[in-house]
Structure 1
Amino acid sequence: MEMRNQQEELIRLLAAKQYTNLRQLLTEMNEADIAVLMEELEAEEMLKVYRILPKDLAADVFSYLETDSQQFIINSLSDKEAGSVIDNLMADDAADLLEEMPANVVRKLLANANPDTRQAVNQLLCYPEDSAGSIMTVEYVSLKENLTVNQAIERIRAVGLDSETINICYVLDARRELVGTVALRYLLLSDGDDIIGEIMHENVISINTLMDQEQAAAQFKKYDFTAMPVVDNENRMVGIITVDDIVDIMEEETTEDMEKMAAIVPSDKPYMKTGVTETYRKRIPWLLLLMVSATFTGAIIASFEEALSVYAVLVAFIPMLMDTGGNAGGQASVTIIRGLSLGEIAYRDIPRIMWKEIRVALLCGGTLAAANFVKLMLLDRVGIPVAFTVCLTLAAAVLMAMLVGCLLPIGAKKIGFDPAVMASPFITTIVDALSLLVYFRFAAILLGI
């Protein structure tokens, strides 16, 4: 049944109060699809559907809901019911939920959760925000070195249902230090009397609890894993991160970078669920800052007002010069920011980057200047001195823009700022001012104004 048909059927069954049939329909659907359908309902109807869901399915569906919907459901449930929701969530999902809740609600939820859940969630909440420890889950399968394959399989049967994944099992010694891994398929293909310590893979790649989540995502990309162990500073295993968490992190980081590159304060809420006032608050600080910084370009134009009155035609080419410079700087900055985020570029690479950007700028600037010279002579019909002034400025603007566009993000990264902050808006403002200064300097030399 298509999603639209499922939604129509769900609404029909709700309106007719045919809850048994509705429950049957829901149990035949995927958890993520149920969450999507629930998000389309009014709040009270969504709560009805959630209460109809079987207990185990309800927990899975809950983890796919938007944060606002999760909070509404939690606040609508009794203390006991809310505690049950937390108990049935994976620890990392429960920690993510509690981070978004008011303190009084968090106390209520933890007070009604079972001790094991409470301990696991509290452990995750103690790690720094955006660290590997804060996004890991503590539900994984651990094995001891001296177990036989048969004993290991029995342990997997005992704890596997409550684990995030059983494809990879982690081998720990007596001090809970991570000493190896063993894949489930190897256990199934090995002799039942084989010892885990003899068949495990000892070259284990792990993530430290304090590693930034963006670096953790880079590790997944580098090694192409679906799950990675997380260890503390003493190599004791404390959890795992799975690829579904990494996909969420990559989406979050990409969205944040895009917002910063557009000069918007990052927001955790989806666009359609962000109010007008909140959207205004996110955008106006940067707009005010960039407006003030843009006054420098106005001041430069004003200072050359007398010269421009002699060659008024020069004014017509200012937007083209500023736009082209801003576009060139934006291209360079986006390339560099991507390289920084993927770990392809380091501070020591600045000389090579500058040399490359200079050559690219000369090629791009030369091509643009040549094309613009033809346009100026054939279409605009300006004099050769004016054409040379505009074209030389254009080539210089492209060169400056590309250098600024590549150096600013690297400099920001070096001093601890997010490189995305130094993207298009800031670069455009700087390049605009530099382009105008060069423009009027060339005009003074070539046109004698």
Structure 2
Amino acid sequence: MAEHSVTVENTLQTLLTDKKYSTIRDILVTMNPADIAAVFAGVESDKLPLLFRLLPKELAAESFVEMESEEQESLIKGISDKELRQVMDELYVDDAVDIVEEMPANVVQRILAQADPEMRKEINEILQYPEDSAGSVMTTEYVKLTPDMTVGDAILRIRRTGVDKETIYTCYVLQNRLLVGTVSVKSLLLAPSDLQTIDSIMESNLITVTTHTDQEEVARMMSKYNLLAIPVVDGDNRMVGIVTFDDAMDVVEEETTEDMEIMAGMTPSDKTYLRSSPFDLFLHRIPWLSLLMISATFTGMIISNFEKALAAMTCLAAFIPMLMDTGGNSGSQSSVTVIRALSLGELEFSDLGKVIWKEIRTALICGACLSVLCFAKVMLVDRLIMGNDEVSIMVAVVVGLTLAVTVLCAKLVGCTLPMLAKKLGFDPAVMASPFITTIVDALSLLVYFGIATALLKL
């Protein structure tokens, strides 16, 4: 797809130079809005308004929604108020809200000035909801029906008003603004009679969310119940909007990206990688790097406290990296598994006992297996192949036993910290690989030197 965009972009550049605008239009109208936005991303900002004006009004608005905020801002500055008004007239409310949230204040003022009063009112209402809530990602454009309406009247209303709605597949049955049911277009079309009333075919077993429900929970519910849209109600069960499937997909992508960045030890960024400058990346990475570097001081302090033990048997130092790495990897496996289960709603804090018991059993099996392999490796490689006479059977026992205990400790830390973080209201992803690895490194050293001191009489 990237290669295709580059090819189209080069073709458009050539056609622009030759001023063959009709040919450019013929190419663009055959493309998907998302593909047009991808091509526009590589076009010089001063050429964007010209290309944008070649698009039919509806296609122009759809392509505008798909563009990155930087291109949107550049384009808004390059088009007239009349052109901006035409774009705003074609936008759905939730798309307009997304654009407003990304723009600087002076651009927002211009956007709102060109929006019609009704849209401006709806945008301002949605912006008042908490960030990352269902209210902040919903749209207020949906098909409304009443229980006493006939099937024929409902189909007629869809024909008259559906063109301005984001989705018409599911219609919402309201009585005095209260949501009492839903009915699909399929049910309407397959109804035995056009005179049948809506209340006789509507689905009254409703799945709803409130305006303050977390957007990630909304996306999870839509996935669980296979919904194309989910109604959003207020505290009195009055319907205020819907969250559509495409918005839920955007939420999933944003939340997954954020979790991956946090788990990798970075603060989340709103910019894509190619749009982030080296200084942007520095700002997002340096806080965690600094924290982890300082926290690693504890491992240095532990090693310093056991300098005499290391001096008495220097071969012990050779096994420290293996023990720390294995412990870190074991902890990361557990933490990632638990974090993912928490994000999918599979685990609650009340399941902590079950999780710990399962991880203990897993750790015992993994630890026993790794311990045997480690003992064989130490005796075969370190003693026989490398010829290190200082490596005795007792040293191999110490290393193998340490490995087993380290795996157990690492898995317990890896499974409990994310659940504790969730309970305290923090993002469980914070307790991922970098953070847990630092804790496990310190634990593995304490276990190693404790066992070595006891068994080797150091």
**In which range does the TM-score fall when normalised by the shorter chain?**
over 0.9
Conserved 8 A contact 1:83-1:110: no
Name the structure 2 match of 1:108.
Answer: 110
Name the structure 2 match of 1:70.
Answer: 72
Q: Structure 1: how far apart are the matches of 2:255 and 2:295?
A: 27
Shift of 1:192: 1.6
Q: Structure 2: how far apart are the matches of 1:296 and 1:5?
A: 54
Q: Structure 2: how far apart are the matches of 1:117 and 1:413?
A: 38
Shift of 1:211: 0.2
Conserved 8 A contact 2:25-2:55: yes
Which deviates the most, 19-28 or 435-444?
19-28
Q: Which residue among 302, 307, 322 is the counterpart of 1:300?
A: 302
1:370 matched to 2:372:
yes
Counterparts in 2 of 1:5 and 1:425: CA distance versus 1, 3 Å: closer
Q: Deviations over 1:45-102 (max 9, x none)?
A: 2332112111111100011111111111122223333333223211111101111112
SS in 1 for 2:172: strand
> What TM-score do the two structures reach when normalised by structure 2?
0.95
Shift of 1:104: 2.5
Which one-letter code corresponds to 2:182 in the other structure? T
Which one-letter code corresponds to 2:329 in the other structure? N
What pairs up with 1:222-301 in 2 under 5 angstroms? 222-301=224-303
Q: Which residue among 44, 47, 52 is the counterpart of 1:45?
A: 47
Name the structure 2 match of 1:330.
Answer: 332
Q: Structure 2: how far apart are the matches of 1:14 and 1:144?
A: 53
Shift of 1:4: 5.4
Conserved 8 A contact 1:39-1:46: no
Shift of 1:209: 0.9
Q: Deviations over 1:373-410 (max 9, x none)?
A: 00111110120111111111111110000000000000
Shift of 1:182: 1.0
Q: Structure 2: how far apart are the matches of 1:67 and 1:84?
A: 19
Q: Structure 1: how far apart are the matches of 2:360 and 2:257?
A: 31
Name the structure 2 match of 1:404.
Answer: 413
1:439 matched to 2:444:
no
1:394 matched to 2:396:
no
1:36 matched to 2:45:
no
SS in 2 for 1:272: coil
Name the structure 1 match of 2:194.
Answer: 192
Q: Structure 1: how far apart are the matches of 2:452 and 2:347?
A: 38
Q: Deviations over 1:125-145 (max 9, x none)?
A: 111100001001111111112
Which one-letter code corresponds to 2:15 in the other structure? L
Shift of 1:12: 2.7
What pairs up with 1:211-226 in 2 under 5 angstroms? 211-226=213-228
Q: Structure 2: how far apart are the matches of 1:9 and 1:431?
A: 55
- Give the superposed CA RMSD: 1.4
Q: Structure 2: how far apart are the matches of 1:376 and 1:187?
A: 73
SS in 2 for 1:273: coil
Which deviates the most, 347-356 or 72-81?
72-81
Name the structure 2 match of 1:420.
Answer: 429
Name the structure 1 match of 2:351.
Answer: 349
Q: Structure 2: how far apart are the matches of 1:348 and 1:201?
A: 34
Conserved 8 A contact 2:174-2:181: yes
Unmatched runs of 5 consecutive residues or more in structure 2: 384-390
Conserved 8 A contact 1:409-1:422: yes
SS in 2 for 1:140: coil
Shift of 1:9: 3.2
SS in 2 for 1:344: coil
Name the structure 2 match of 1:149.
Answer: 151
Counterparts in 2 of 1:354 and 1:282: CA distance versus 1, 3 Å: same
Q: Structure 2: how far apart are the matches of 1:205 and 1:25?
A: 44
Name the structure 1 match of 2:361.
Answer: 359
Conserved 8 A contact 2:134-2:209: yes
